[in-house]
Each structure stands twice: as structure tokens, then as C-alpha cells.
Amino acid sequence: MRLTYTPFVGNLQELAKGYMDSFAPKDCDEDQDNVPEFVEATIYSPTEVVFMTGRYASKEETKKKGNNINSQGWRFKPWFYQHAESALKKGEFLEYIPSREYYHRHTRYLYWEGKPILPFGDQWWFRFLLGWLMPSKVSLLKATQREAIRNYYHEMHVIQDMLVPLYKVGDALEWVHQEMEVYPIWLCPHRLFKPPIKTMVYPEPGFKHHCRQGDTSYARMFTDKGPVLRGEVFDGAEAVSKMEQWMFDADLYEYARKKYGAVGTFMSGYYKSKEGRETEKEVQEAERAHLETSDAEADY
């Protein structure tokens, strides 16, 4: 795998535009020859991002003199997102990573989720001596958490994936910064094809007439956006409630939960963000109470 790390500095709208330009053809160009085969971006702050674009490389190309081969799968290697962050200091660089190790670049340390679970896990001595233990079973890691780390998860941590049209990535980043201010943020393109039958996730009507960057006549380009960390106390339930309004209308979901008696089994996005460990009975009672209040109706 030939991987290029490209740093970029600017405001959130400029970061989004740079992300689009790193892989997406313009003006409904359906010539895919110059499009990278692998794309991701990590936003480290409101002004800094690193784009990673890759293509398969032959063994002959990889073994040419002077090429840098990074065996990312070794246990003592720096965490991949931290390795990519180094591009912000040393500038754009290119390296080759064995394909299997590239596929699992985030596996060993769960993207950057390993940091709050195991705060010292990215230290050189841990990677060298005990890096072979990773990735441990998440339930085991959580069982060994101390109270301070557990409280951190409840009060200063959020995980949320969002799928947004490519041309709205800049607006989505600004919204996340305003409502949650979470970093790092992981971006990955997602092509949504137009099937003959309308499905739950479907391109906007008439998208092919707009010829926006990354779109073609048969598919629309979206981006999977995943913010996962936060550095200050916030009201997770309120934030998720606002995000539900911004992302989708939950009326049909709530109707189906009530119709099939799934309240308390399939939780609402609001309740999933609440703090504490409740029994199944407590979950069901709290869910029913929540759905019966006028405030809950206003949330949706």
C-alpha cells in the first residue's frame, strides 16, 4: 500500500474543501482513474487535519531503493493516528505499508479509544513490553478501569457517527464544533449508489442535476464522520437530542418502538446517552416515562 500523508491548515470550511479536493473529481467527472483507492482524514483541531490517500503498490515498486516501508503492525509502533499527526510537523510524506497491516491500522488501539481506556497505552515502554496484549477485550479493559476513568466516560466523552453529503461536510464540522467541540474527528468517504428501489438511506432527489463535487450520475458521495473524544464536561443527553433533530426525524422510529412493544429494548438516542448502569426494568420504566412527557415529544 502506497500511502501519502498530507497536512492541511485552515478553518473548518477550508478543511472540508481540502478533504474534498484530496480525492473527489469535480463537475460530475466520472473518470475514476486518478481517484485514490483508499481515503481517510483525521481532524486534530479546528484548524489542523491530515489527509491520507493510498493506492495498491506492487512488490517491485515497494522494494525500490529509497522507499520507506512502515511495518505498522509491530506492537511497538506508535499508534497510527499519532503517527499520521507527525505530518503536521514534518510536512507531507509518503511511505509503504503492507496491505494487511494497513487494513488493521486502527485495530490494535481502537482508533484513539484506547487512550481513555488505557491512558498510558501509547507510551513507548508499554508498547515495547506489553503492546502484544492489544487489542484486549473491551469488557476486560473496562472491568479494570478506575473510578476516575469511568467518570470521564460518563462526563467528558462522546462517540457519534454521522453520514452526511460530501458538500455539507463543512457545515457538519462547524455544527459539531459548536455543539460538542470534539477532537479528533475521523472522516471517510462513502459512496451511496442510487438503487432502482428507494431505501432508508437514499441520495437526495435530483442530485445528479447539481453535479456537485464527488457525485456522478449514478451515485452520490457522502462522508462518514466520527467524533469520539471531548475535553470538558457537557450534557450528553441534550447534545444528542439536538443532533437527532439535525440528522433525522425520529417519529417513525418512536412509532415502531411503541407498536411492537420495543420501548426499553430498543432505546432512544436520548436515553442511550444517559449516565449510569440501570437494570432492564429500570431502563423500561425510564423510557416509558420519557416518552410520555411533553418534553420528550418536543425533542423529536
Amino acid 58 reads S
- Each residue of 117-134: b (16+ CB within 10 Å) or e? bbeebbeeebbeeebeeb
Contacts of 59 (CB under 8 A, 6+ apart): none
Three-class DSSP labels, 16-27 = HHHHHHCCCCCC
Residues 106, 38 share a domain = yes
| CB-based contacts of 209, cutoff 8 Å, min separation 6 | none
**Is residue 23 located within the same domain as residue 48?**
yes
pLDDT tens digits for the chain (300 residues)? 999 999 999 999 999 999 999 888 776 655 566 788 999 999 999 999 999 999 999 989 998 988 999 999 898 999 999 999 999 999 999 999 999 999 999 888 888 877 777 778 889 898 899 888 887 776 776 676 677 776 766 666 677 788 888 888 999 999 888 877 888 899 998 887 777 766 666 677 777 667 777 767 667 677 776 655 555 555 555 555 555 554 556 677 778 878 887 776 676 655 555 554 455 566 667 776 766 663 445 454
Q: How far, in Å, CA of 26 to CA of 66, rounded?
A: 34
Do 147 and 8 reside in the same domain of the chain?
yes
- Structural domain contains residue 240: no
Judge if 207 and 116 occupy the same domain: yes
d(CA 49, CA 43): 4
Q: Which grid coordinates are listed for 267?
A: 432505546
Residues 294 and 291: their CA atoms lie apart, in Å, by 8
Task: Please spell the DSSP secondary structure of 75-104, one letter per residue.
Answer: TTSPPHHHHHHTHHHH--EEEE--HHHHHT
> Coil, helix or strand for 285?
helix
286's grid cell: 425510564
Residue 124 lies in a domain: yes
Per the structure, how many domains does the chain have?
Answer: 2
Q: Establish how many alpha carbons lie within 13 A of residue 149's alpha carbon, considering only the half-sphere containing its beta carbon.
A: 14
Nearest Cα neighbor of 226 from 80, 103, 112 is 112
Q: Are residues 42 and 161 in the same domain?
A: yes
The verdict on 189 and 267 lying in the same domain is no
Q: Look at residue 257 in the predicted model and tell me its pLDDT.
A: 78
Same domain, 258 and 157: no
Range of the domain at 157: 1-234
Q: What is the C-alpha to C-alpha distance for residues 17 and 25, in angstroms, rounded to an integer?
A: 12
Closest CA to 187 of 172, 201, 202, 200: 172
Distance CA 208, CA 195 (A): 14
Q: Are 169 and 196 in the same domain?
A: yes
What is the value of pTM for the model shown?
A: 0.71
The domain boundary residue, chosen from 234, 268, 289:
234
pLDDT of residue 86: 95
Cell of 248: 433525522
CA distance 10 to 92: 16
Q: State the pLDDT at residue 228.
A: 53
> In the prediction, which pLDDT does 217 show?
67
68 shares its domain with 212: yes
Number of Cβ within 10 Å of residue 233's Cβ equals 11
Quote the CA–CA distance of 298 and 300 in Å, as a whole number: 5
> Is 244 within the bounds of a domain?
no
Closest to 267 measured CA to CA, from 245, 246, 244: 244
User: DSSP class of residue 153?
Assistant: H
Q: Do 78 and 118 fall within a single domain?
A: yes
